[in-house]
Amino acid sequence: MLEKLDSLEEKYDELTHLLSQPEVLSDQARFQKLAKAHSDLSDIVIMYREYKSLSRQLEDSKEMLAEEEDEEFRQMLTDEIPELQEKKASLEQELRILLLPQDPNDEKSVIMEIRAGTGGEEAALFAGDLFRMYSRYAEEQGWKIEIMDTHYTDIGGIKEIVFVVDGRGAYSKLKFESGVHRVQRIPVTESGGRIHTSAATVAVLPEAEEVELAIDPNDLRIDVYCSSGPGGQSVNTTQSAVRITHIPTGEVVTCQDEKSQHKNKAKALRVLRARLKELLEEEKNAEMAGNRKSQVGSGDRSERIRTYNFPQGRVSDHRINLTLHRLESVLEGRLEEIINALIAHYQAERLKQVD
């Protein structure tokens, strides 16, 4: 590990030197490329230098303890050494995590799809709660939400919603949200006051750029029709809604949220590109997907990952046995504790594989 870190520090110093050279400063394309590489190494190099400084301090303290005769000073050193050892071990663990290969999709924006599952109208209302939860979380992170397609029920629930969470690093934090989210509560539609269990499915797809995935126009069937609102009534009389079918895979994407057929088509293509990218990656990384399943779940939307229990005011993530008794704040978008716990668990499992 130390050899790898020494190599990265050497590369970082080389980049620092290059970024100050006139020929680099005058070439904006090259400067930006080198600046990004320098920035990518910055965190790990700063931490490594802190680790080396701490290691030297620890060795110095041990040497002084072996030579020191003054009892008061020896006691101070005796108290200091365990603290330094603990800090060193903690930094070493953080460095090992930073050295793990990064998911190439982590920095990307995501396309999220929420669909009502079992539970009828109550499931649709819960799907709306989930959309609100993720919207609030995105707002806290400084990300933007763009709705691609929605289908409502008569009483305002959501049968299905597709939306983009646009922001750097969105996928790194939201990728473990895929799966079945279950709710236990007394539905507003239930007159007898009985607790029902309903569910909604969530899918999280990293957005694919056009350069990553080219779609052959000959593989597409594009249909246009009039947009519809709750209950199926026509929203407008122009054929602005778009349905795109990818013939080779059978994937179907609809979009009707814009008044412009052109804009709806562009949005639908963004969703389709993300879905096709996911299909390709699943085929290429079957073994990796198996590993991921053993760590935090497969990300498959058929897997139950979390329960929101209203009578007890708790949220339980079944993959990492985490239960929080603050349901209301979680539904307000305060997901950081759950997301950080999932990331930490995933990293720990990957470290075990490296070891």
> Which of 57-66, 149-158, 178-187, 232-241 shows the lowest mean pLDDT across its residues?
232-241
CA 291 → CA 138, 211, 224, 287, distances in Å?
28, 29, 42, 7
Token reading at 37: 């590489």
Q: 313: which 2 tokens?
A: 């005011």
pLDDT of residue 266: 85
Q: Tally the C-alpha atoms within 13 A of residue 13's C-alpha that lie toward its C-beta.
A: 7
Q: What is the pLDDT of residue 334?
A: 96
Task: Work out the angle at residue 84's Cα, subtended by the Cα atoms of residues 78 and 88, and round it to the nearest 5 degrees.
Answer: 150
Can you list the alpha helix ranges (DSSP code H) found in the chain?
2-18, 22-25, 28-67, 71-99, 120-141, 170-174, 261-284, 286-296, 327-331, 336-354
pLDDT tens-digit map of 287-318: 544 444 443 444 445 678 999 999 999 999 99
pLDDT at 212 over 80: no
What does the pLDDT average to over 104-123?
Answer: 90
Q: What is the mean pLDDT of the chain?
A: 85
Domain residue ranges of the chain, discontinuous segments joined by +: 2-99, 110-214+287-349
Q: Which of 168-172, 328-332, 342-346 tops mean pLDDT?
A: 328-332
- Ranked by mean pLDDT, the top range of 33-42, 68-77, 195-204, 255-264 is 195-204
Architecture of domain 110-214+287-349: 2-Layer Sandwich (3.30)
Report the C-alpha gap between 225 and 266 in whole angstroms.
16
Which pLDDT does position 81 carry in this prediction?
Answer: 92
Give the lowest-confidence range in 1-5, 338-342, 349-353.
349-353
Q: What is the mean pLDDT of residues 57-78?
A: 88
pLDDT attached to residue 57: 92
